[in-house]
A and B are shown apart, each in its own frame.
Chain A
Amino acid sequence: MLEQLLNALLAVFLGVGACTLYYVGSNFLLDQVFADSGENAVRNSRQRAAIRPWLFLAPALLILSIYLVYPVLETLRLSFYNFGGFEFVGLKNYIWATKNPEFLQAIGNNFMWLIVVPTLSVAFGLAVAVLADKLWWGTIAKSLIFMPMAISFVGASVIWKFVYDYRGPDTDQIGSLNAFVMMFGFEPQAWITLPFWNNFFLMVILVWIQTGFAMVIFSAALRGIPEATLEAARIDGAGEIQLFFKIMIPQIMGTIMVVWTTITIIVLKVFDIVLAMTNGQWNTDVLANLMFDWMFRGGGDSGRGSIVALMILMAVIPIMFWNIRNFRKEEEAR
């Protein structure tokens, strides 16, 4: 085990060493080949300026091309091919998808996730941000609510599976939710297998994780609202509730949108929670889990797997363009 850690450290050392060697070496070579002195000094300096950016960029561009650009194009291609990726089958996979009940179920579930999780995370995040800002122990409260952000989705799944644990109605419950329900005289339930509603019990986990994120961002944005604006509204006789809906929310609308889209992207990719809690059983499957499933099912079907992945990409594309447009606007404003 120790040997393995040493290997990892060696890898860091070699990796960093190789990177350093590349950057220092290539820049040194550039300075040597197009030297600053001699008869061509001016032309050389221009050459250096033209080449150097590419020396800086090359490793990043290379890795991005291999790990992101090429795979996206390849996945697109594979979606038109059969399970092994050898034979062109046209739209066959697409037609399969429109008729496959699993796929349609996953889309339906993803749709619910997309509505519920960002809405609740943003709502709770806002509520905590506003409440905590007014109280002396707000910082501690925020820290505690933020904490699940550090926990892995699998870890969170274990935590919540324990909350949802179910024992027969005649024995003591060890899951807190069932104990709570029984306190009020209701029957204990096997929450995770409860048709339809089980989806929401899985969503709770992601809301639990993402609320902290929303809260932190909103907290910072709320502090950015000029005190004078709030003061003016108060003088005009606005109550706290009016202040919240008529001043605070409109003032941080841009931030709300950013948080909303960020959580939306996370929701589209949600995989670990479903895999760990149900593995898609009891009608809880979502696209990311289905995609993983097809990647390995029956030796792996790259055609169908690709279709599912493309579906996720398609849902992300509007956000991608919105991001790019925002970025362009900011650049112009600089």
Chain B
Amino acid sequence: MTFRKPQHLTLGRLFNHLALLVLVLLWILPTIGLLVSSFRDKDQLAYSGWWTALTTSEQNDWGRTGKAEDQIEKSGNYVISGTILEPGEKTILTFNTNFRNLSAYKSGETMIFKDDSHFTLQADGKYEWVSQKHFTHKRGKRIFYVANVPPSFSLDNYREVLASENVGQSFVNTFTVTIPATIIPIMIAAFAAYAFAWMEFPGRQFLFVCVVGLLVVPLQMSLIPLLTMYNKIGTFFGTEAKSYLGIWLAHTGFGLPLAIYLLRNYMGSLPRDIIESARIDGASHFQIFTRLVLPLSIPALASFCIFQFLWVWNDLLVALVFLGKQDNQIVLTSKLRELLGSRGDNWEILTSSAFISIVVPLLVFFALQRYFVRGLVTGSVK
């Protein structure tokens, strides 16, 4: 850790600050917009930008007065009173019975209807409708109004997607895919990596070069043959071709090259002395691996675990091919993609579902950033 001398602000340094600030804002504002929107009231979300979330907005709406049966007689007049607002924090600005001219009457003013009855609407939504004649209407009159809506934030959107869109189930499905698909490959890769790093056998170099080659083979090359194979196996055993076991193994296969590569490089960089002295002491490779190399490789194992976890959690392609779309198999990414198609305009659903799908990776990321960065750097800088 080095201490920097405090530097005074020059024009150049000011430019540095500004440039970085602009970049950071550009990078985080889209995510913040999503996050803020997911907590907003769904009507406000549909009519005003998320950056106005903290200000009061205007909204046009309508309500109904009471029916004839609600009237009471008061000093010779017939009166219907009540409120046309649902409980909330709206305040009425203007109103009319005709929606073409909403600003005709201000709240608190009295509107005289054709039948000479007087209608008074207060800002808080309370109204009084007075007539000298007996009311006979069966349906309440429609009153159109413009109201001020204060900002409102709630967990309603989350409640909705978790309950009615089955996003909660998808969340569990994603975990079901991710946990085994992270842990199984790492064991298999660790043994192979040790063999490549410290054991002598013919073809060692060749096989490892193959692994390096497989590192970049696009997933797309595997999909058609594997799908066919899975279907055949499914038919043969009379089981579903799309199953959790199938996707665990697929993710294991696709994750192995990177796992073997990273772990082998890490294990290979352990000091030769300790491994050779253990050999001389008569330890077998199996003992050296489990008691010595594995504990020493924990940083590399952790890095790979984070990679694989994020990759599997965020994967869409493998899930679309190897898992079904029914409720007990669909993962968050496919669910989100489906919602984009079916509920493309319901931003309250999309924003909250998206946030549910990214919250776990974000937590993992911020909690374990150091391991993640270390893994990336050792994998790339040479």
Contact = CB atoms under 8 A, between A and B. Distances in A.
Q: Do A and B bind each other?
A: yes
Interface of A: 1, 4-5, 7-9, 11-12, 15-16, 19-20, 23, 27, 31, 48-50, 52-54, 56-57, 59-61, 63-64, 66-72, 74-75, 78, 85, 124, 127-128, 131-132, 134-136, 138, 141, 143-155, 157-163, 165, 171-176, 179, 208, 211, 213, 216-217, 220-221, 224, 240, 254-255, 258-259, 262, 265, 268-269, 271-272, 275-276, 287-288, 291-292, 295, 300, 302, 305-306, 308-310, 312-313, 316, 319-320, 323-324, 326-328, 330-331
Interface string B253-266: 11011001000000
B222 interface: yes
Contacts of A74: 224-225
Contact of B358 (A8, A143, A155): A155
Contacts of B296: none
A59 B218 CA distance: 22
Contacts of A148: 27, 31
B303 interface: no
Interface centre among B45, B49, B175 (most CB of A within 10 A): B49
Interface string B10-26: 00110011011001100
Nearest to A73: B225
B144 to A, nearest CB: 19
Contacts of A213: 376
Contacts of A12: 179-180, 183-184
21 contacts: A7-B244, A12-B180, A63-B188, A72-B221, A135-B16, A135-B17, A147-B362, A147-B365, A151-B361, A154-B340, A158-B340, A174-B49, A175-B49, A176-B50, A179-B49, A216-B377, A220-B381, A271-B317, A295-B223, A305-B224, A309-B224
Contact of B168 (A1, A160, A175): A1
B316 A153 contact: yes
Given A19-B187, A275-B337, A312-B220, 19 more contacts: A52-B286, A53-B200, A56-B194, A60-B189, A67-B249, A75-B221, A135-B16, A147-B362, A150-B365, A152-B316, A174-B45, A174-B48, A216-B373, A254-B382, A272-B316, A295-B227, A312-B221, A313-B217, A323-B216
Contacts of A208: 27, 30
A150 B362 contact: yes
B225 A75 contact: yes
A277 to B, nearest CB: 8
Contact of B30 (A146, A163, A269, A326): A163
Nearest to A213: B376
A5 B17 contact: no
A60 B260 contact: yes
The size class of the interface chain B forms with chain A is: 35 or more
B218 A268 contact: yes
Contacts of B122: none
Contacts of A128: 20, 23
Nearest to A50: B201
A147 B28 contact: yes
Contact of B187 (A16, A147, A160, A324): A16
B113 interface: no
Contact of B376 (A61, A171, A217): A217
A62 to B, nearest CB: 9
Contact of A258 (B168, B315, B358, B381): B381
